[in-house]
Amino acid sequence: MDVEGFLRHADEVLVGVVEVAGALIIFVGAVLAAVRFVVEGLRHRTAAIFTPIRLSLGRFLTLGLEFQLAADILRTAVSPTFEQVGQLAAIATIRTLLNYFLGREIRKEKQQVSDGERSA
């Protein structure tokens, strides 16, 4: 196997590992949020109890999306074509916007939780 072939194979393996890690992070976050939603929903009937659950899920989604973006960057690391670079740019833009809006929502929710605790 030549060096370029080895690098392509190693890159494919690394991309797969990082993609699986990102998917697992999102999956674990969704499962934890669902369990907390059911448990807390049965215990407390107020909407305020769900804000911390949403914050936690948002953090998992943000982290998982970062891993997915890392996998996309790794995918184009070895001899990228112009098409791959264009796809990466589009994917990076979309994921960056998603992360930005998720982060903004998380900050807003945190502020609401903090304001609610101060007034209580």
| Residue 79 DSSP symbol | S
At CA 86, angle to CA 71 and CA 80, rounded to 5? 60
**Would you state the pLDDT for residue 16?**
93
Closest to 65 (Cα-Cα) out of 87, 32, 35, 92? 92
More confident residue, 76 or 60: 60
More confident residue, 62 or 115: 62
pLDDT above 90 covers what percent of the chain? 24
Confidence class for position 79, pLDDT limits 50, 70, 90: low
| Residue 77 DSSP symbol | S
Q: What is the pLDDT of the chain when averaged over all its residues? A: 84
pLDDT at 119 exceeding the cut of 70: no
User: Cα–Cα distance between 62 and 64 in angstroms, integer?
Assistant: 5
pLDDT at 64 exceeding the cut of 70: yes
**Would you state the pLDDT for residue 98?**
82
User: Cα–Cα distance between 32 and 94 in angstroms, integer?
Assistant: 26
5-51: pLDDT as tens digits? 887 888 889 999 999 999 999 999 999 999 999 998 878 877 777 88
Torsion of CA 8, 26, 110, 93, to 10 degrees: 40
**Would you state the pLDDT for residue 54?**
85
